[in-house]
Structure 1
Amino acid sequence: MTAAAGIATLPGWRLALFGLPGLPLAALTLPLYIYLPTYYADTLGLGLGVVGGVLLAARIWDMVTDPVVGVLADAVRLPGGRRRGWMVAGLPFTIAGIWMLMSPPDGAGAAHLLVWSIVLHLGGTMMVLSQQAWTAELSDGYDERSRIVTVREVFVILGTLAAIALPVVAGGGGTAVTAAGLATLGAAIALLLPVTTTAAVIAVPEPDRPVARARGQLARLGALVANRPFRRLIGAYIANGFANGLPATLFLLYVSHVIGRPDLAGPLLFVYFAAGILAAPLWLRLAARTSKHRAWTIAMAIATAAFLPAAFLGTGDVVPFLIICIATGATLGADLALPNAMQADVIDIDRLETGQERAGLFFALWGFATKAALALGIGTAFPLIDAAGFDPAADDGGGALALTVLALVYGALPVPFKIWAILLVRRFPLTREIQSGLAEEIARRRSPAVATPPGCGPPSSRKPSCSLSVAAPRASCSRSSAS
């Protein structure tokens, strides 16, 4: 360990245990968006309208609680630490929500779905935000952050793969999700989550960082808004998230009606995520040789070029679409890991600008942006194909025009948003050299014997502290805002 870089290199076994909770947490995502709505609407007989309204209300609650939990997680130190303590505190809510939603009692209705969805979203937010903030604080090293986030995201992809396979296998091998399959997945997640979380909390140290004053966080939102790298990064992430959300929303419909092979939806999805796992080390290596933002830009460019042909495929084009799934899946690791690692670097500017540790708030806003982009994708895709006359119940999907529009929304509409994201980050100002200077300045200020630079207030000062100019190769104290 060095003063400038926090934990210089986390041993491989500790890093694996740190990322392990991402597996059961990620396994929750697919059931919430794909399995649960169908199960409650059809099997339990609530109807699509009721289920859609209930889950929309739960998602709104989820988005609203993100910044609240982020501020509290920064300001309140629970037993075990700010990050580890909040992860453990979120466990009972998450486990209870999983169990009650995936093993509903007889007579479960809309109220049951709403209450336990809210409980699950609260627990999930507490755990995910805490682990993300912990990731940003675990190391001050530019490349080590990429390594930590990449390993965590590999476990996230593994959890998604497990969620694809387990309910179908438990349900007898068919494509429909049965009560037994859903209950099996719920039980597996409920058992794995406390085991993996406990292992991470015990094995991985949490750097001792001061709590951030809740009132101070709200009073210094201006510093966050003035953080130009943060604005550019979150703008790119929203644009890229929207571009990814469109095909994610329409994947099953596209495979079923455009390609004409609904039986291959699961295997194709599996290939996509498996390619993401296999290619993840390559993106980590490329980011180390160049930079995070350049590696991410290359990944988005490849995804754009590879995905566009999907707009022009038709019935029976399984092999071309399989190639598209492999090529775009290979960029998934970069999409998941590199922006999150860049976010950790952006937080360094805020640490020096405000003198506070606000990683929880930053990742709360990050989570809000992620959910907003997904909601925007759903809110755009369905009305467009509906206006074109698409009918999922019809054998021909509503006709040639409807299928053409479905293919264009799936394969072509994401392209300009990917390009927008590329333009936002291709000259991202936080390079390896500049982040190294930020880390050195942070380490210097953390030293109790350090003298305050002329013209700069101490980190604990209530007055605005000095800002950093990221235009220089080394962090320097100035009166200009971090931009």
Structure 2
Amino acid sequence: MDAGPIGTKRLSRWQLFAYGQLVVPLAVIGLPVAIYIPPFYSGTLGLNLAAVGFILMLARLSDVVTDPLIGRLSDRTRTRWGRRRPWLALGVPVMMLSSYMLFVPPEQVSNLYLLIWISAIYLGFTFITIPYGAWGAEISSDYAERNRITGSREIFMLLGLLMAITAPIIGAYLTDQGGNSASRGAMSSLGWLTVALMPICAFIALVSVKEPPIEEVKHIPFRRGFRVIMGNGPLRLILYTSILGALAGSINAGVAVMFFEHVAELGKASTVLIFVLFAAGVVGSPIWVSVGSRFGKHLGIAYAGIASLFVFSLVPVVIYWVKPHYPDAVFPCMMAITLIQGLTIGAAPILGQSILADVVDLDTLKSGEQRTAFLFAFIGMVRKIFEAVGVGIALPILAWVGFNPSAAGNSPASLFTLTAMYCIVPLILWVISVAIIWQYPITRERQVRLRIALEKRIVRRAVIRD
């Protein structure tokens, strides 16, 4: 089947595969950046924990400039290969080099070394993920088909995350480091895996999936375009939920490994929990594609959020009641919580990205300019700011209360703070986020009307030009 622009037609299985599989190397390196870098650089390599948190925050904030810049440049790029794929190709060597330097560091590292290469890897992510997300939104204009596209991407994302969990374990054992997930052997396996996978996956996507034709329009000034964005009610709701979700997810992920080791005291079993989380996500993702198409994307996210948050709220019960009285039951309880969370974990990424594609339709109608990458970059920029804030808050607070990730024992106050950072604070933020997304107004029927209005505008412009 032709791999060209699809419009409202269903993509073939090969097209879904070729587009979606590109996220595998991004996931392989993306998860470790979030959860392994803090304990690796502070515990194994000996940098100060608070300094590591500040560096991660500072590097994330660099995306405030690069995200909207790359998004705007991608929207305005015109080449024989399209406007998205050249940027993806540019990002591949950046990701390969920065992944190697970050995860296969020399014997002695400094704060400056971490800052340079964590910033470089974030730049590589920007080169790839902003055009890549916009490309996926433009492949189809159909409400349900967009769920299939983002669903394929999320399934491969979760498969990549499973590789990110297993590779450090294998790497640690092969280097006789006892399965320590934050050891040098474990981290180097991730760096080399990314170097190997990145060019292969990029090649498959770039040669197999073409970009849809672009309707040429007059570009609007940046300030006017920003006013249109802030006047877009559905986009504002997405913005609010993105802020809360990014802040909650960053705080939670940034301390997850330390919580499992020092509070839950699960040892190597914590890796099993993370593996189960993402494996269950692979199983649950197709369900949320169907739920979003049948009941509405925003309701699918809300339903999944309610189920996930209900079981996640039981974590303090496990720690402060089950653990003292029935210590052998801690792992089974955490396993049950993780399994349910895993089944719901794909809903927000799949349906949220599909929702953003629908919001782009509304923005195009209001602004007159198709600027998909810029809007993806704008949302991505906001998310990264608050991801940076989350890490920049959580790790210094832990250091301030005296928590030491290298110590065998920590004070009750520091362990309670770690529990609050892992569970209680994110839980509150996620509850508010679910309440906001429940109010999202673009249904399937409204999205169809938006597409009809856009098609009429395109026809009118074509008649005027002729």
TM-score normalised by length of structure 1: 0.85
What's 2:428 paired with? 416
What's 1:468 paired with? none
Task: Report if the CA contact (8 A) 2:53-2:391 is conserved.
Answer: no
Q: State the Cα deviation string for residues 316-362 of structure 1 (Å, max 9, x = none).
A: 31111111111112111002111111010000011111221111111
What's 1:432 paired with? 444
Q: Distance in 2 between matches of 1:108 and 1:214?
A: 46
AA at the equivalent of 2:163: A
What's 2:148 paired with? 147
More helix per residue: 2
Q: Distance in 1 between matches of 2:243 and 2:170?
A: 35
What's 1:169 paired with? 170
AA at the equivalent of 1:226: G
Q: Distance in 1 between matches of 2:216 and 2:42?
A: 44
> How far apart are residue 113 of structure 1 and its match?
3.5
More divergent stretch after superposition (20-29 vs 240-249):
240-249
AA at the equivalent of 2:250: G
Q: Against the structure 1 CA distance between its residues 123 and 246, is the aligned structure 2 distance closer, same or farther, given a 3 Å change threshold?
A: closer
Q: Against the structure 1 CA distance between its residues 275 and 287, is the aligned structure 2 distance closer, same or farther, given a 3 Å change threshold?
A: same
What's 1:339 paired with? 352
The secondary structure found in structure 1 opposite 2:442 is coil
AA at the equivalent of 2:9: A
Task: Report if the CA contact (8 A) 2:170-2:179 is conserved.
Answer: yes
Q: Against the structure 1 CA distance between its residues 51 and 406, is the aligned structure 2 distance closer, same or farther, given a 3 Å change threshold?
A: closer
Q: State the Cα deviation string for residues 225-284 of structure 1 (Å, max 9, x = none).
A: 100000011112222333333332332232223322122221111111111111011111
> How far apart are residue 83 of structure 1 and its match?
0.9
- Ranked by relative contact order (alpha carbons within 8 Å, sequence separation 6 or more), the top structure is 2
Q: Against the structure 1 CA distance between its residues 81 and 41, is the aligned structure 2 distance closer, same or farther, given a 3 Å change threshold?
A: same
Q: State the Cα deviation string for residues 266-314 of structure 1 (Å, max 9, x = none).
A: 1111111111111011111111111101111101111111111112222
Q: Which of 434, 451, 455 is 1:443 aligned to?
A: 455
Q: How does 1:44-193 map to 2 (within 5 A)?
A: 44=45, 47-48=48-49, 51-104=52-105, 109-172=110-173, 174-193=179-198
Q: How many residues align?
A: 450
The secondary structure found in structure 2 opposite 1:175 is coil
Question: Unmatched 5+ residue regions in structure 1?
Answer: 453-457, 459-483
The secondary structure found in structure 2 opposite 1:429 is coil
Task: Report if the CA contact (8 A) 1:212-1:358 is conserved.
Answer: no
The secondary structure found in structure 1 opposite 2:314 is helix
More divergent stretch after superposition (71-80 vs 380-389):
380-389
Q: Which of 311, 314, 319 is 1:309 aligned to?
A: 314
Percentage identity across aligned positions?
31
Matched, 1:232 2:233: no
Task: Report if the CA contact (8 A) 2:28-2:161 is conserved.
Answer: yes
Matched, 1:206 2:243: no
What's 1:464 paired with? none
> How far apart are residue 129 of structure 1 and its match?
0.5
Q: Distance in 2 between matches of 1:309 and 1:50?
A: 32
